[in-house]
Structure 1
Amino acid sequence: MSRTIRYREALNEALREELRRDETVLLMGQDIGLFDGAFGVTEGLLSEFGERRVRDTPISENTTVGMGVGAAMAGLRPVVEMMTINFSLLAMDQIVNHAAQIHYMFGGQARVPLVIRMPQGAGHQLGPTHSHSWEAFFVHVPGLLVAAPSTPADAKGLLKAAIRSDDPVVFIEHEHLYGQRGEVPDLDVDHVVAFGRAAIRREGTDVTLVGISRQAMTAWRAADLLHAEHGISAEVIDPRTLRPLDLETILASVRKTNRCVIVEEGWPRGGVAADLAVQITEQAFDWLDAPVGRVTGADVPTPYAKSLEQVAFPHEHDVVTAALATFRDI
């Protein structure tokens, strides 16, 4: 059985259940206690678990993540919340040089079971420094796991899996999704979603649409338009995790449809879509009837003005245009 709840509520359930299940789990971040978190994800957790396990931290991201790394090495399972993903820049040394590398540097003698939650994404008029989509930054780093769930069910299941992982996890949540509703298994189900398994959101035969984070939902809506207006059957794939990546599910779809369009909100140069396009071309070239298409955010700082911001990240009509282009003669 399942019920319909919001994305932020699903995350809250995951945190609450893991705090109850494992006494080594603790939360750290700015305003996550008294203020219930910038996006309400940690609502009510301070009152249930107390200041020892739900810790408001100073405005010092490098210190907070550094504390998380140390606590993880000492046997705890910290979950650190960044207020928005751009603040992770202040903790890049701790994330990239420490959390991601310690297991390797110490010959496997130390683990860092740390989760860093990061809200991201455009569409809320937060300006160029608070609207980033930076999956590609962290996918680039060996030693990190990277999750980008698009549904409430996956948000809950992947966060529970992340907390139980012995490896450091960058857990990316799109701000637009916090209020979105979806079906999530009942509370009596230990709902855990394994890393490295993509979801086929919609089956199709003519073109594969791969959507990253929020853009998995954009790809779904584009598939509706392609079918209704052009009679094209699009298969929609949501990778869910980018490290590890379930490339085989994507390749199997491309070998069936012979066309592919990848949709992400990040910038086009060196992005997740660019990386995926190369891997698909290298490993499924003989099945492709057209070059792999990419739909990305604009190659500019995200505008503050609403009208400009809206055209700076992908919408379903952009995906439809890119998909139709794969049917033209090469």
Structure 2
Amino acid sequence: FLILNGSQLIFYAAKSKELHGRATPLFVRAIAAEGAGPVHSGVLHSIFMHFPGFRVAAPVTPLEYKAVWDDFMAHDDPMIVSEHRASYLNTEELPDISAQNARITIYAVSVTRFEAVKAAKMLADEGIACNVVHLLWLKPFDLDERLLAPLRSSGRGLVVDAGHEIAGASQAIAYSLSNATGKPVRALGLADRTKCLCDPLKNAFPDALSIAAAARDILARKAGCDE
């Protein structure tokens, strides 16, 4: 139902401070879920990243949810909180993974963060060391050293998101990271089809297997270029 309210959010709440000098601080919880059907299960944070005036976050840990609320209380902008029901069962924090001699850095958004950690372990068992950087804030998106240093070191990057890949958060972030470092960064998100868990329309967010496969493909392409 988020899109049904999109007109008021995009054309008034996000613009009111700039156009009228009056802020519209709204805390909008946009909740996605797997298995909720092809209509009400979508991850839609990319849409609101596009429009000026919004702050956009995708928390998955207890302290991150608190940090997002504290940030909302400290500002007067409308906040889009991209939640995933899978995060409600999580009680642990997710620290970044910094691997020695990492060959690739995985940046993960929303529920794919759990899968990125699993993928990193799978790749490590194969002798492929990789960094994992967890992304909470999607807008504003600060290109600080926590994000840039691992990519400069590993030389290759992969941004994974639970939303659609085309014109989505994964592509936008991949571009920003690559532009800031000069390193190649690939995006991985939902295919350009309806999001659904049911056959024959099945189109779920990237899991550990698909993330690991994408990382291997990136490294294989690098090896081919080096030959």
The verdict on a shared fold, with TM-score over 0.5 as the criterion, is yes
Letter in 2 for 1:261: L
Number of aligned pairs?
Answer: 219
Distance 1:292 1:304 in 2: 28
Alignment of 1:153-302 (within 5 A): 153-182=63-92, 201-204=96-99, 205-228=102-125, 230-248=126-144, 249-285=146-182, 288=183, 291-302=184-195
User: What is the Cα deviation at residue 181 of structure 1?
Assistant: 2.2
User: What is the Cα deviation at residue 273 of structure 1?
Assistant: 0.9
- Mapped pair 1:325 → 2:217: yes
Which residue of the partner structure matches residue 59 of structure 1? none
| SS of residue matched to 1:220 | helix
Give aligned-pair identity as a percent.
Answer: 28
User: What is the Cα deviation at residue 164 of structure 1?
Assistant: 3.4
Distance 1:97 1:164 in 2: 23
Which residue of the partner structure matches residue 46 of structure 2? 136
Distance 1:182 1:250 in 2: 21
- Mapped pair 1:104 → 2:18: yes
Give the alignment partner of residue 115 of structure 1, picking from 27, 33, 37: 27
Alignment of 1:8-87 (within 5 A): 87=1
Which residue of the partner structure matches residue 313 of structure 1? 205
Distance 1:304 1:261 in 2: 24
Deviations 1:172-207 (A, max 9, x none): 111121122226xxxxxxxxxxxxxxx852112221
Distance 1:307 1:212 in 2: 26
Distance 1:235 1:150 in 2: 19
Letter in 2 for 1:284: T
CA contact (8 A) 2:104 2:215 kept: yes
Distance 1:207 1:299 in 2: 25
Q: Which runs of 5+ in 1 are unaligned?
A: 1-86, 184-198
Letter in 1 for 2:207: H
User: What is the Cα deviation at residue 250 of structure 1?
Assistant: 2.0
User: What is the Cα deviation at residue 242 of structure 1?
Assistant: 0.5
Letter in 2 for 1:118: A
Q: Which runs of 5+ in 2 are unaligned?
A: none
Q: Which runs of 4+ in 1 moved over 6 A?
A: none
Deviations 1:131-177 (A, max 9, x none): 11111101101110001012122112222322332211111111121
Letter in 2 for 1:269: I
User: What is the Cα deviation at residue 93 of structure 1?
Assistant: 1.3
Distance 1:306 1:157 in 2: 38
User: What is the Cα deviation at residue 308 of structure 1?
Assistant: 5.6
Deviations 1:40-92 (A, max 9, x none): xxxxxxxxxxxxxxxxxxxxxxxxxxxxxxxxxxxxxxxxxxxxxxx111111
User: What is the Cα deviation at residue 224 of structure 1?
Assistant: 0.9
Distance 1:304 1:224 in 2: 25
Distance 1:317 1:307 in 2: 20
Deviations 1:258-303 (A, max 9, x none): 0101111111210111111222222222xx3xx4222211221123
CA contact (8 A) 1:277 1:292 kept: yes
CA contact (8 A) 1:239 1:245 kept: no
CA contact (8 A) 1:294 1:322 kept: no
| SS of residue matched to 1:159 | helix
CA contact (8 A) 2:60 2:90 kept: no
- CA RMSD, Structure 1 to Structure 2 (Å): 1.9
| SS of residue matched to 1:245 | coil
